[in-house]
C-alpha cells in the first residue's frame, strides 16, 4: 500500500514557496478573523500564523469575543476589504451559532478571499474557470493525488460529505479531471453499497469509524479528510485505517495526510493572490 504522505508533500510545496517569497520585494499580508473561543479553531489559527511567519508572510490576527454582533463583524470585514496593506482575508469557521457564515463570507472581497469560499470564487469553480482562489482542503487533496500520479479520468470517485468547504468543491474538481463523481451524505441510503463501487473514496463526514474495511473496494485509493477526536483522545479520521490499509492501493494517514496539505494550499493561495 502507498501511504499518501501529505506532510512530506506539503513541506516540498512550502519550501518552494519560501524561495519565491524571498525573491519578492514586498510581501503579502494575511488577516485572520477568529470569533469566540473554540479550542480547535484556536489551534488551527495558531498553526496557520506559525506557517505564515516561517515563510515571511505577514499575518494579522483579529480576535473577537464569542458574543460579537453581526454589524461588528461586518464592519471588521469591510475595514479589511478597504485596507490596502491586507492582501488576503480568512474568516475562521465555525462561527458562534448566532452568526450565519454565509452572511459574512459573502461580504469578503473575492480578490482577498484566500479560502475561495465567496459566491464569486465558488461560482468560478462551478463554471470551470479560474477565480482568485480555490478552497484549500479540496485543492490540497487534488494536489496530493497529482503528486502520487493517481489517475482520475474515467474512474468512479465517491465523496462522502457535501459541505461547501470540502465535499462540494472537491466533487467539482474531480469532475473537472473527468472522474465520474458520486456525492454521499447523511441521508444517503446504503452508503456501503455506494462506497464499495469507488475507485477513489474520499471520506469527509467527520464521523470516526464511519468507513470500515467491508465498505471499501479492493485496490481503491482512499483519502481521509476528517479530523476527529477518538475515544483515547488521539486524532483520527473517518476511516478504520488499520483494517482498510490492507485492502487498498493507497491511503492518507490522519494526521499527516490532508491536514498539512490544507495549510500549504492556504500559503500558496496567499502568495498567488498577492501576485495576480
Helices (H), the chain: 6-22, 39-55, 70-82, 101-105, 119-126, 136-147, 167-176, 191-195, 241-244, 258-275
Residue 208, C-alpha cell as written in the block? 470516526
The reply on whether position 206 binds ligand NAP by CB under 6 A is yes
Is position 42 annotated as part of the catalytic site?
Answer: no
Determine which residue in the list 41, 81, 163, 249 makes contact with ligand NAP, applying CB under 6 A.
163
Q: Is the dihedral of CA 141, 146, 147, 148 positive or negative?
A: positive
Residue from 9, 92, 121, 262 binding ligand NAP (CB under 6 A): 262
Q: Confirm or reject binding of residue 253 to ligand NAP (CB under 6 A).
A: no
Under rule CB under 6 A, residue 195 binds ligand NAP: no
- Closer residue to ligand NAP (CB): 111 or 134: 134
180 scored as a contact of ligand NAP (CB under 6 A):
no
Is residue 42 helix, strand or coil? helix
Q: Are 59 and 28 in contact (CB under 8 A)?
A: no
Phi, psi (degrees; rounded to nearest 5) at 34: -120, 120
- d(CA 79, CA 183) in angstroms, rounded, equals 38
Q: Which stretch binds ligand NAP (CB under 6 A): 23-31, 192-200, 202-210, 239-247?
A: 202-210
**Alpha-carbon distance 63 to 186, whole Å?**
33
**DSSP helix/strand/coil, 230:** coil
How many residues bind to ligand NAP according to rule CB under 6 A? 26
Those residues with Cβ within 8 angstroms of residue 119's Cβ, 6 or more apart along the chain or in another chain: 106
Site for ligand NAP in 43-82 (CB under 6 A): none
Examine residue 207 and tell whether it contacts ligand NAP (CB under 6 A).
yes
> What is the spatial distance between Cα 164 and Cα 158, in angstroms, rounded to a whole number?
16
Is-catalytic flag, 115?
A: yes
191 part of the interface to ligand NAP, by CB under 6 A = yes
In the complex, the smallest distance separating the C-beta of residue 263 from ligand NAP, rounded to whole angstroms, is 8
Strand pairing report for 2-3 and 58-64: unpaired
Any catalytic annotation for residue 7?
A: no
Does 227 bind ligand NAP (CB under 6 A)? Our answer is yes
Residue 202 contacts ligand NAP per CB under 6 A:
no
Binding mask 229-248 for ligand NAP (x = CB under 6 A): --------------------
Pairing of strands 228-229, 235-236: antiparallel
Of the listed 5, 112, 113, 115, which one is catalytic?
115
Nearest to 165 by CA among 43, 53, 273, 258: 258
Contact range with ligand NAP by CB under 6 A, out of 23-31, 57-65, 162-170, 173-181? 162-170
**Between 83 and 148, CB nearer to ligand NAP:** 148
Candidates 16-24, 101-109, 110-118, 160-168; binding stretch for ligand NAP (CB under 6 A): 160-168
Q: Give the interface with ligand NAP as residue ranges (CB under 6 A).
A: 137, 160-163, 165-167, 184-188, 191, 204-207, 210, 225-228, 258-259, 262
For the annotated catalytic residues, the residue numbers are 48, 92, 115
Amino acid at each position: 500500500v502507498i501511504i499518501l504522505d501529505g506532510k512530506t508533500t506539503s513541506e516540498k510545496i512550502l519550501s518552494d514557496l519560501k524561495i519565491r517569497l524571498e525573491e519578492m520585494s514586498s510581501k503579502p499580508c494575511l488577516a485572520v478573523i477568529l470569533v469566540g473561543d473554540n479550542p480547535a479553531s484556536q489551534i488551527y489559527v495558531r498553526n496557520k500564523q506559525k506557517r505564515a511567519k516561517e515563510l515571511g508572510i505577514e499575518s494579522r490576527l483579529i480576535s473577537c469575543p464569542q458574543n460579537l454582533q453581526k454589524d461588528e463583524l461586518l464592519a471588521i470585514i469591510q475595514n479589511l476589504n478597504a485596507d490596502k496593506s491586507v492582501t488576503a482575508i480568512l474568516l475562521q469557521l465555525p462561527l458562534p451559532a448566532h452568526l450565519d457564515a454565509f452572511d459574512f463570507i459573502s461580504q469578503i472581497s473575492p480578490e482577498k478571499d484566500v479560502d475561495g469560499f465567496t459566491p464569486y470564487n465558488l461560482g468560478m469553480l462551478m463554471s470551470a474557470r479560474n477565480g482568485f482562489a480555490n478552497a484549500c482542503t479540496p485543492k490540497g487533496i487534488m494536489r496530493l493525488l497529482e503528486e502520487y500520479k493517481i489517475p482520475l479520468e474515467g474512474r468512479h470517485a465517491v465523496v462522502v460529505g457535501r459541505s461547501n468547504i470540502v465535499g462540494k468543491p472537491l466533487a467539482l474538481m474531480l469532475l473537472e479531471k473527468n472522474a465520474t463523481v458520486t456525492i454521499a451524505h447523511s441521508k444517503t441510503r446504503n452508503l456501503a453499497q455506494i462506497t464499495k463501487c469507488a475507485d477513489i473514496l474520499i471520506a469527509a463526514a467527520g464521523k470516526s469509524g464511519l468507513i470500515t474495511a467491508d465498505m471499501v473496494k479492493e485496490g481503491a485509493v482512499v483519502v481521509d479528510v476528517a479530523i476527529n477526536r477518538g475515544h483515547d483522545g488521539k486524532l483520527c479520521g473517518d476511516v478504520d485505517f488499520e483494517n482498510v490499509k490492507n485492502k487498498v492501493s493507497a491511503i492518507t494517514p490522519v494526521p499527516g495526510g490532508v491536514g498539512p496539505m490544507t495549510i500549504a494550499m492556504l500559503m500558496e493561495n496567499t502568495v498567488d493572490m498577492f501576485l495576480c
